Amino acid sequence: MSDNESREKLIQCARREFTEKGFDKASLRKIASDAGLTTGAVYFFFKDKNGLFGAVVDEALSGFMQLLKKHFAEEADEDPATYVHVKGDHDPLAEMIVNYLYDNYDVMMLLFDKAHGSRYENVIDTIIEMLETQYSALAKKYAEVTGKRVNEYMLHYITHMQVDAFEHLLNHETDREKAVEKIKPVIDMMITVWVGYVIEDRDE
Amino acid sequence: MSDNESREKLIQCARREFTEKGFDKASLRKIASDAGLTTGAVYFFFKDKNGLFGAVVDEALSGFMQLLKKHFAEEADEDPATYVHVKGDHDPLAEMIVNYLYDNYDVMMLLFDKAHGSRYENVIDTIIEMLETQYSALAKKYAEVTGKRVNEYMLHYITHMQVDAFEHLLNHETDREKAVEKIKPVIDMMITVWVGYVIEDRDE
Amino acid sequence: MSDNESREKLIQCARREFTEKGFDKASLRKIASDAGLTTGAVYFFFKDKNGLFGAVVDEALSGFMQLLKKHFAEEADEDPATYVHVKGDHDPLAEMIVNYLYDNYDVMMLLFDKAHGSRYENVIDTIIEMLETQYSALAKKYAEVTGKRVNEYMLHYITHMQVDAFEHLLNHETDREKAVEKIKPVIDMMITVWVGYVIEDRDE
Amino acid sequence: MSDNESREKLIQCARREFTEKGFDKASLRKIASDAGLTTGAVYFFFKDKNGLFGAVVDEALSGFMQLLKKHFAEEADEDPATYVHVKGDHDPLAEMIVNYLYDNYDVMMLLFDKAHGSRYENVIDTIIEMLETQYSALAKKYAEVTGKRVNEYMLHYITHMQVDAFEHLLNHETDREKAVEKIKPVIDMMITVWVGYVIEDRDE
DNA sequence: TATGAATGAGATTTCATTCAT
DNA sequence: CATGAATGAAATCTCATTCAT
């Protein structure tokens, strides 16, 4: 077998096996033999089990991270003094994210639910941390302008909720169109909460 | 060693091992030898690995389920026509739950975070389902009275988030007093969301 | 199979395999299957490969160490001021050591030549260090009395030579009686060297 | 890369890897990749792992053998009837050998300590055998002249010890100058032993 | 002059589970 | 009430070597 045929086949069989059993219980033997190869071959193409998992997952993951970062670059330009939440104003963003998620359905499920034991097992925490850092800056700006203050725990929890919202969606709705419609009110709700609970009155 | 002594020791050592390594990676050999016994003894007292896990976990779990059910029996008696959300009105409930959780800290952590691979790995989903059933009935009553309608997906998601809120708390705050204070605004927020987003206007 | 039968069989097969292939290349699979058992059984009886090697070797080794220590306890009582080397005066000691070595022929060969990769791979260095410590004290006493000084490097090297002498004997002479006769002049020679080269004139 | 360039690089990287891990545990993959090549390349330039080890080692080894042989050609010309051991009379020889050893430090270490598993694992025995043959002839001449006899076992053992002396030196003294000074009394001592114990009185 | 792909055999270790005693 | 012995299956990983191109 030449070119990248074997490598691709390995990745493809790995995706299936990881999806079925999760990182820990996935068997390299099975992956290899499904691909018509031996375990040794896996170690020719990849450093180890984690390396193989990475090959399945890396591209989609870094794409996702970039998507989130790009969004924040834009959001950071907004003026908190004049921003007023209008229902539906974040729909395009929600749609973008949902679309990305469903374009990479298998892999995102892998990362969210099946990565336990792998070097990616804390990927969600990483995402949350990144978001939180950005949100925290945003919140401070907003609090300053409005003379209110930031509830840091609520901020952290809401960030968590937000990420969970997408993970939850992926797990419960396979149809992309329906997913988009379902997530919209959730995002709206979240922004309301953001404005009302993350930014709280000083006397509370 | 008398009957109960060994059994209790086994359970106690199992709790430690499961907590450290999670269900899957916990070693029965180690549990047994920590307890000064052999693996065979485990199979005398318990059916298998899952059975041992159950012995560690069952009591606290069913207590928790009953706590939730009792709460709902009371809540169901409320008249949705006259209920108005007042900040802090659910604080006693939140406190009860948090107290229960922290009274059974180790075991609840086990159930929430370390049960992967065991017969309890979906215990959170079970709890969510139960809550959802109850919430759904409540929501329908409320919607009927107010002439609005129920957003079922939002209901499901919020229920999920509510359970997550407690799991999250357990993971991030070891001090019980602080935990109580932290969860209160979260619960308030949730009820607001409930009233405003789970029960939505008909024309949405 | 009951009692210690299996354990003993395992040790016996391990001795053969280690002797044939050395620690590193010895195969646990082969040892187990030679003993009519599975590899798992090895791990029931022993901690790991090193543990099994230890089971083969430990008793004879610690006996040897004790033999050497006992000898030194006696030697240390000698008065260096009055000691004069007489040919053959160390024959009984030599004989004792040779006898011990040949009583434990297989195991001593294992330790001296086949332990590479195991936790015993430096056992000879350990022996040399122990001897050197004792010899060094002896030499200082002797040097003080005679007004000469100790050549530390020569001391170290001679100690090494001495240990090698026995290792060499084991490797080249299988007959115990002949071994005893061969080692005697070597020991005599060594003591001469000791007196003449380890303890050297101050102006050298 | 030109023919010799790759070959040389391979040899150089092999020297490092063999030195670090010993023959057995050295990895051809690593050697090749350190050299910027693939394992296949190793098999283009060398027959196999042993062949590569040989390429690292052969030149210095045969140089060493020739050095020893040349020395003996000279020594054999001496007249045993008139030879009297004078302290320091072998210093130039010792210096020559030490110099050669330290000029080829890495490779000699490889041969003495790291060749286990390779076709050179008995190289020291080969050297000893060669020396022994020569020494035996010398000893017989000397014994004849003096009317004494040869203790063959002592001869063998001393030859062994002599080789060990150099191996030991290499292992314990990295500084060449100091090494020269340390080996001199050892060589003196050895000749004394030679004259007094290898050649022994008939009635012993 | 090399590469890249792949094999096939092997290594040690770990584990839940069983069962006669 | 519990032990002690053992299985059998699986796991990841490493390696020297081969060979078509």
**Tens digit of pLDDT for each residue in D134-165?**
889 989 988 998 899 999 999 999 999 999 99
Residue D36 (CA) to nucleotide E2 (C1'), in angstroms, measures: 11
Q: How far is C161 from chain D (nearest CA, A)?
A: 7
- Which tokens in the block code for residue A180? 């988009």
Chain B partners of A172 at a C-beta cutoff of 8 Å? 156
Residue A73 (CA) to nucleotide F1 (C1'), in angstroms, measures: 68
Q: For residue B169, which of A190, A151, A153 has the smallest C-alpha distance?
A: A153
pLDDT in the model for residue D2: 52
CA distances from A62 to A11, A118, A120, C5, D115 (A): 17, 17, 12, 59, 48
**DSSP state letters, A119-177:** TTTTHHHHHHHHHHHHHHHHHHHHHHHHT-EE-HHHHHHHHHHHHHHHHHHHHH---HH
Distance of CA D140 to the CA centre of its chain: 24
- Which tokens in the block code for residue B196? 């405003």
Q: How far is C3 from chain D (nearest CA, A)?
A: 39
User: Which residue on chain C is closest to D167 by alpha carbon?
Assistant: C157
**CB spacing of B196 vs A192 below 8 angstroms:** yes
Tell whether B185 lies on the interface with A, counting CB pairs under 8 A.
Answer: yes
Spatial contact of A170 and A105, defined as CB atoms under 8 Å apart: yes
Chain C partners of D178 at a C-beta cutoff of 8 Å? none
More confident position, B33 or D4: B33
Chains D and C touch (3+ CB pairs under 8 A): yes
Q: Is it the case that residue D15 has pLDDT exceeding 50?
A: yes
**CB spacing of A185 vs B193 below 8 angstroms:** no
pLDDT in the model for residue D86: 85
Tell me how many residue pairs between chain C and chain D have CB atoms under 8 A apart: 49
For residue D18, what is the enclosing H or E element?
helix D3-25
Residue D9 (CA) to nucleotide E2 (C1'), in angstroms, measures: 14
Chain B partners of A24 at a C-beta cutoff of 8 Å? 24
Instruction: Look at chain C and count its residues.
Output: 204
What is the average pLDDT value for chain D, to the nearest integer?
A: 90
**CB spacing of A168 vs B189 below 8 angstroms:** no
Spell out the domain ranges in chain A: 1-47, 58-200
- Torsion, CA C181, CA C183, CA C184, CA C189, rounded to 10: 140
Phi, psi of C9 (to 5 degrees): -60, -40
| DSSP for residue B198 | I
Burial A124-163 (b: 16+ CB within 10 A, else e): beebbeebbebbbebbeebbeeeebbbbebbbbbbbbbbb
Q: Which nucleotide lies at the shortest CA–C1' distance from A28?
A: F12
- Among C82-91, D6-15, D73-82, whose mean pLDDT is lowest? D73-82
- Among A75-79, A197-201, C143-147, whose mean pLDDT is lowest? A75-79
Q: SS3 for B22?
A: helix
Q: What is the pLDDT of residues A128-169, one digit of tens each?
A: 999 999 889 989 988 898 889 999 989 999 999 999 999 999
Tell whether C154 lies on the interface with D, counting CB pairs under 8 A.
Answer: yes
Tell whether A172 lies on the interface with B, counting CB pairs under 8 A.
Answer: yes
Tell whether B20 lies on the interface with A, counting CB pairs under 8 A.
Answer: no
Q: Which nucleotide lies at the shortest CA–C1' distance from A43?
A: F13
Tell whether D196 lies on the interface with C, counting CB pairs under 8 A.
Answer: yes
pLDDT in the model for residue C42: 94
Report d(CA B200, CA A87) in Å as an integer. Answer: 13
Q: Is it the case that residue A124 has pLDDT exceeding 90?
A: yes
Chains that touch C (3 or more CB pairs under 8 A): D
Q: Which nucleotide lies at the shortest CA–C1' distance from B35?
A: F2
**Candidates D156, D172, D197; nearest CB to C189:** D197
More confident position, A204 or B163: B163
Nucleic strand E contacts from chain D, 144-203, CB < 7 Å: none
Tell whether B161 lies on the interface with A, counting CB pairs under 8 A.
Answer: yes
**Candidates C116, C154, C196; nearest CB to D186:** C154
Write down the pTM of the prediction: 0.88
Chains that touch B (3 or more CB pairs under 8 A): A
Q: Is it the case that residue C103 has pLDDT exceeding 90?
A: yes
pLDDT in the model for residue B31: 93
pLDDT band at B1 (very low <50, low <70, confident <90, very high): very low
CA distances from B150 to A104, B126, B145, B196 (A): 31, 22, 12, 10
Q: For residue B120, which of B28, B24, B14, B5 has the smallest C-alpha distance?
A: B24
pLDDT band at C71 (very low <50, low <70, confident <90, very high): confident
Q: Which nucleotide lies at the shortest CA–C1' distance from D42?
A: E2
The interaxial angle of helices A5-25 and A105-113, nearest 10 deg, is: 30
**CB spacing of A154 vs B186 below 8 angstroms:** yes
Q: What residues pair up with C199 in beta bridges, in sequence order?
A: C150
Q: Which ranges constitute the DSSP H helices of A39-151?
A: 39-45, 49-75, 91-103, 105-113, 123-146
pLDDT band at A203 (very low <50, low <70, confident <90, very high): low
Residue at the smallest CA–C1' distance to nucleotide E1? D3
Residue A32 (CA) to nucleotide E10 (C1'), in angstroms, measures: 17
**Candidates C116, C156, C186; nearest CB to D116:** C116
**CB spacing of D196 vs C189 below 8 angstroms:** yes
Q: How far is A190 from chain B (nearest CA, A)?
A: 9
What is the sign of the dihedral through the CA atoms of C80, C82, C84 and C90? negative
List protein-proximal bases of chain F (any atom < 7 A from a CB).
Answer: 1-20
Report d(CA D96, CA B31) in Å as an integer. Answer: 65
Tell whether B82 lies on the interface with A, counting CB pairs under 8 A.
Answer: no
May I ask the CATH architecture of the domain A1-47? Orthogonal Bundle (1.10)
Q: For residue C198, which of C124, C128, C137, C126 has the smallest C-alpha distance?
A: C137
The answer to whether the beta carbon of residue D133 comes closer than 7 angstroms to any atom of strand E is no
- Among A175-179, C77-81, C87-91, whose mean pLDDT is lowest? C77-81
Across residues B165-192, what is the average pLDDT? 92
The answer to whether the beta carbon of residue C39 comes closer than 7 angstroms to any atom of strand E is yes
What is the sign of the dihedral through the CA atoms of C66, C68, C74 and C76? negative
What is the sign of the dihedral through the CA atoms of B174, B177, B179 and B182? negative
**DSSP state letters, D156-180:** HHHHHHHHHHHHHHHHH---HHHHH
Chain C partners of D113 at a C-beta cutoff of 8 Å? none
Chains B and A touch (3+ CB pairs under 8 A): yes
Residue A130 (CA) to nucleotide F15 (C1'), in angstroms, measures: 42
pLDDT in the model for residue C3: 59
Across residues B49-57, what is the average pLDDT? 94
